[in-house]
Chains A and B, each alone.
Chain A
Amino acid sequence: MTRKFTASVAVALVVGVIGFDLAASPPNPYVAPPMLALGSGQVAAGGFCGALPD
């Protein structure tokens, strides 16, 4: 067995997470934020490992 197998499993994992999530929480492109946060005038609100929840 070579790395072809393990690398394929990793890609399948990504596809699986996205596929599972698409079924549960489909995105809505019509409520997407501006392309860039810089200059958008909107407060940054993404999840980050350094941030405690509000």
Chain B
Amino acid sequence: MAQSQIDTAAPVGAGFALKRGGLLLAAVAFILFVTLFAGARYGLLLSIGLGFGITLEGLRFGFAGPWRAMILRRDPAGILAQLLAIGLVTVVALPLLAAHPGELVGAQAPVGWAMIGGAFVFGTAMQVVLGCGSGTLVNAGSGNPIGLLALPFFAIGSFAGAYNLIWWTDLGALPIITFNGGTGVAITLVLLAAVAVLLLRFAPPENRNIPPRYIFAALLLAALALGNLVIAGQPWGVVYGLGLWVAKGVSAMGGDLTASAFWAAPSTMERVQSSVLTDYTSLTDFGIIAGAFGVAAWRRGGLDQPLPKLPAKAWMATVVAGFLLGYSSRLAFGCNVGAFFSGISTGSLHGWVWFVAAFAGAYYGIKLRPMLGLEARK
């Protein structure tokens, strides 16, 4: 935050203004390119993704950090903002889903053994690399070497998790349980409020307020998430796109996907063979990385920080955690975005179960981080 305060006060030279103009031009060119070569819907989705990236990096808002702040310092501000954003989306999304069945779908998935275990592992790995699904993309885009190294292994893990997904779901899962319509809105808002009250009870009095930037971020994220739903017909997600990139690579190199019940399904195979510029989660993922890069480059000195010196075990832990992030989030039917944010806001019970399991995992992930050498040397 101190960085951005320096930003606004510092004089901006002609060269720097030129760089900022170049960033804006590049963003417009990227959107136009996708619109012209793929279609208007896809250009709009890329714009939404850029908005996510700009909001998350620009307002320094995320998922892993606030969970860590709550567990370590009993500071609930970030999670309260997350709950606010989810509540805002719920109020609009559930009535929209009820009024437009088929055209719009929610992030609704079954609760099962693998789903719960996957969410727990994801919560742990998320704290090891200090980045969830969207957080890893933002971190990579803004030049964080941990996020950058984790990202390709996240993608490989997402592909592998999807490859084995049907085997895992066969271990046992409930039918999909959802809260729908007006009743669904009421139930979800009451549960969100109950979590907020619980968090506030644990917080010391000095931590019981939400900074304005968090509220602003929550409002923007809610608006963008609703835009994602209205434009794509499905909620905001992250990890499917990452696995799809690897599946396309495997397929292009002659790899056989037919042994996987997931990747061999006709609908999935069609997406593997279609342009990545027509895949909704890929477009928003590209946008998040590019948006975070744009904000980091826009800031005066935003990319001038030296890279941290970390021991080899920290880099190895990043590789393993990156893979686990991808694998576990496919078993859990999403990450903080696809399951927690979009699952809860579109009425899926699995979003709530994901939240509890991932939060428990985050507690242990925080303990692992210094043991793995991931706290920077003083």
Q: Once the chains bind, are B151 and A49 in contact (CB under 8 Å)?
A: no
Give A42's nearest chain B residue, CB to CB: B103
B142 proximal to A (CB < 8 A): yes
Taking CB atoms and an 8 Å cut-off, the chain A residues in 1-54 that contact chain B are: 1-7, 9-11, 13-14, 17-18, 20-22, 24-29, 32-54
Taking CB atoms and an 8 Å cut-off, the chain B residues in 320-359 that contact chain A are: 329-330, 333-335, 338-339, 342-343, 348, 350
Q: Once the chains bind, are A48 and B103 in contact (CB under 8 Å)?
A: no
Chain A positions within 8 Å of B307 at CB level = 1-3, 5-6
Give A33's nearest chain B residue, CB to CB: B41
In the complex, A9 Cα to B105 Cα: how many Å? 35
Interface size on B, residues (CB 8 A): 86
Cβ 8 A contact of B40, one of A1, A14, A32: A32
Q: Once the chains bind, are B293 and A11 in contact (CB under 8 Å)?
A: yes
Q: Once the chains bind, are B279 and A48 in contact (CB under 8 Å)?
A: no
Cβ 8 A contact of B107, one of A11, A43, A48: A48
Contact A44:B277 (CB < 8 A) given known A32-B39, A32-B41: no
Contact A49:B237 (CB < 8 A) given known A21-B276, A43-B103: yes
B274 proximal to A (CB < 8 A): yes
Q: Once the chains bind, are B281 and A48 in contact (CB under 8 Å)?
A: yes
A7 to chain B minimum Cβ distance, whole angstroms, is 3
Chain A positions within 8 Å of B238 at CB level = 49
Give B236's nearest chain A residue, CB to CB: A48
Cβ 8 A contact of B278, one of A1, A27, A43: A27
B148 to chain A minimum Cβ distance, whole angstroms, is 5
A4 to chain B minimum Cβ distance, whole angstroms, is 4
Give B107's nearest chain A residue, CB to CB: A50
In the complex, A39 Cα to B229 Cα: how many Å? 12
Give B329's nearest chain A residue, CB to CB: A49
Contact A44:B105 (CB < 8 A) given known A3-B303, A6-B145, A37-B230: yes
Cβ 8 A contact of A29, one of B36, B261, B266: B36
B225 proximal to A (CB < 8 A): no
B331 to chain A minimum Cβ distance, whole angstroms, is 10
Chain A to chain B contacts (Cβ below 8 Å), 11 pairs? A2-B303, A6-B307, A10-B143, A10-B148, A13-B289, A21-B277, A25-B248, A25-B273, A27-B275, A46-B279, A50-B343
**Residue positions of B touching A, CB distance < 8 A:** 36-42, 44, 96, 100, 102-105, 107-109, 140-145, 147-148, 151-152, 165-166, 169, 229-235, 237-241, 244-245, 248-249, 252, 261-262, 265-268, 271, 273-281, 286, 289-290, 293, 296-297, 302-307, 329-330, 333-335, 338-339, 342-343, 348, 350
The 7 closest A-B pairs by CB, nearest first: A32-B39, A3-B143, A37-B233, A53-B265, A44-B233, A7-B143, A27-B275
